[in-house]
Structure 1
Amino acid sequence: MPYLSRIPLAPLRTGTRKLLNSPQAMHAAILGGVAYHPDPGRTLWRLDADNPHRPHLYTVTQVEPDFTALVEQAGWAVDNPHAKPTVADYKPLLANLEAGQTYAFRLTASPVQNTRTPQKPTPDQAARTAASTKERAPSHRLGHRTTHHQLAWFTSRVHKHGFELLTLPNTQDPAPGILPLPNTDTSGADPLLDVRVMARDRLVFNKTLTGPGGAKTGTTKVTVTTASFAGTLRVTDPVELARALITGIGSAKAYGCGLLTLAHPRSNQ
């Protein structure tokens, strides 16, 4: 039975700064909240820091979590209902999804492409290519760096995840500096899809490698390109959308990518 949790973080605390600066440390702290379960299943998380003074951590866990230790490390030490974490049973929302429903959504993902000929290969990629034959050249995973390609990556995947994007009214202008991709499946004048990139980032950090028994064997450099998408969707396949909500979209799920959340759209009035 999945659970959706929302944890307000206190950004000035030493423990919070450690988690904000290391996706690996954040992932480990979240897994600590379900470590007492013999089979916790897939855990998703996302950090929303639109307001850097009040960041929020969202998680989806397959079992009911206990984030007491995480809150003691990085939460607010005040008696305020808005500063307290909330944990909600996700099953009612998943069970009530129906085709035709509309929701506002948010997703932080890692838009990537696979290529055998990277323009600027890293030393590791160059070594892998040099060690291969022309007939069996390795495929390298590269992150999309531009807003246009990130939007194209996302819009090409929405249907297989059980939803479609709504369109903006003809009189509504897109967000300044960000042009959503046109819906090329519509005949006549192409309306703009209601999706935008709210934030983009390129995370570079060292990942600790461990061997048998958990012994540290070294570190490796990890680079993750992320994009945060927001807009309005319409449900087309409730089963596939529910699957996306609890298993995530795209790669780099251990580093804060893949968690899609829904909310009722705001009234036009």
Structure 2
Amino acid sequence: MYLSKIHISWLQAQNTYQLHQALWRLFPDCEEADRDFLFRVEQMQKGIGAEVLMQSTTQPQSNEQSPALLAEREYVLNVQNGQRLRFRLRANPIKTIKDSSKGTVEKKGKTFTKTVRVPLLHEDQQQAWLERKFQAFAQLDTLIMQPEPVLYFRKAKEGRSGKIQTVMFDGILTVTDAEAFNYEVKQGIGPAKAFGCGLLSLAKI
């Protein structure tokens, strides 16, 4: 995998959807491929732009149309069962509920009530959500949660806008299943990955 530090211009950084589209330009031959990168905005400066940390399976390629690639290094994730690590994760803790006002959908000859995603706003709910996400591969030892401002986005082509509620999780975990852990780090944790959520950053203690 590769870890990269990237600068996104202020014009593109103002809208999270456009920021995500800008990152795609670092992979010019992968337009039709599934996204294999995760990212997190580390710093945003009005009028200047965003500094972004990106994890990718494919090596990014800087070009005239892409954002500025400030730094890059290749790394191999090599963890062991029982290993303790510091972590940072920006996530979008949610639950999915049925909403009859949205109507129904047909699947395999059966009718189901449509569902909607609802943000989890209380700290105990957010911690429980993270513990559920970790339970197959890690034990949560310590945790600090920092609620963040609502993130608004707009998809100009679709004429649609929306918002998500993100939380920054910092803490210490213990690896319980190294193989599953490696897989989840590559896949990312939780929803809203296109909006800068899901990147699990790790550091040795």
Q: Under TM normalisation by the shorter chain, which class is it?
A: 0.7 to 0.9
Contact 1:40–1:63 (CA under 8 A) maintained in structure 2: no
Measure, in 1, the Cα distance between the counterparts of 2:112 and 2:155.
Answer: 28
Measure, in 2, the Cα distance between the counterparts of 1:208 and 1:237.
Answer: 42
Following superposition of structure 1 onto structure 2, how do residues 205-224 of structure 1 map, counting pairs within 5 Å? 205-209=153-157, 218-224=158-164
Q: Specify the alignment match of 1:36 in structure 2.
A: 29
Structure 2 residue 187 is the aligned partner of structure 1 residue 247: yes
How large is the RMSD of aligned CA atoms in angstroms? 2.8
Q: Specify the alignment match of 2:20 in structure 1.
A: 27
Q: Specify the alignment match of 2:138 in structure 1.
A: 163
Q: State the one-letter code of the partner of 1:89.
A: E
In structure 2, relative to structure 1, the CA distance for the partners of 1:50 and 1:159 (3 Å cut) is farther
In structure 2, relative to structure 1, the CA distance for the partners of 1:54 and 1:236 (3 Å cut) is farther
**Bigger share in helix:** 1
Q: TM-score, normalised on structure 2? A: 0.83
Q: 1:231-266: CA deviations, max 9, x gaps?
A: 01111111111111111011111111111010123x
Q: 1:7-62: CA deviations, max 9, x gaps?
A: 3x4xxxxx632333211111011110012347474221111239999964111112
Q: State the one-letter code of the partner of 2:57.
A: Q
Contact 2:36–2:58 (CA under 8 A) maintained in structure 1: no
Q: Specify the alignment match of 1:48 in structure 2.
A: 42
**Bigger share in strand:** 2
How many residues of Structure 1 are paired with residues of Structure 2 in the alignment? 197
Displacement, 1:164? 1.0
Where does the alignment leave 5 or more consecutive residues of structure 2 unmatched?
106-110
Local SS of the residue matching 2:183: helix
Q: Specify the alignment match of 1:102 in structure 2.
A: 84
Q: Looking at CA atoms only, which structure, 1 or 2, has the larger radius of gyration?
A: 1
Local SS of the residue matching 1:49: strand
Displacement, 1:6? 2.3
Identity across the alignment (%): 24
Q: Specify the alignment match of 1:202 in structure 2.
A: 150
Q: Specify the alignment match of 2:4 in structure 1.
A: 5
Measure, in 1, the Cα distance between the counterparts of 2:119 and 2:146.
Answer: 17
Contact 2:150–2:166 (CA under 8 A) maintained in structure 1: yes
Q: Specify the alignment match of 1:184 in structure 2.
A: none
Q: Specify the alignment match of 2:67 in structure 1.
A: 70
Q: Specify the alignment match of 1:57 in structure 2.
A: 52
Measure, in 2, the Cα distance between the counterparts of 1:263 and 1:67.
Answer: 27
In structure 2, relative to structure 1, the CA distance for the partners of 1:224 and 1:16 (3 Å cut) is same
Local SS of the residue matching 1:156: helix
Local SS of the residue matching 1:30: helix
In structure 2, relative to structure 1, the CA distance for the partners of 1:18 and 1:145 (3 Å cut) is farther
Contact 1:4–1:58 (CA under 8 A) maintained in structure 2: yes
Which of 20-29 and 41-50 deviates more? 41-50
Displacement, 1:156? 2.0
Measure, in 1, the Cα distance between the counterparts of 2:87 and 2:147.
Answer: 14
Local SS of the residue matching 1:4: strand
In structure 2, relative to structure 1, the CA distance for the partners of 1:239 and 1:115 (3 Å cut) is same
Structure 2 residue 134 is the aligned partner of structure 1 residue 152: no
Q: 1:120-157: CA deviations, max 9, x gaps?
A: xxxxx84x24x67xx73221111112333222211222
Q: 1:85 aligns with which of 70, 83, 94?
A: 70
Displacement, 1:229? 0.4
In structure 2, relative to structure 1, the CA distance for the partners of 1:21 and 1:41 (3 Å cut) is closer
Q: TM-score, normalised on structure 1? A: 0.65
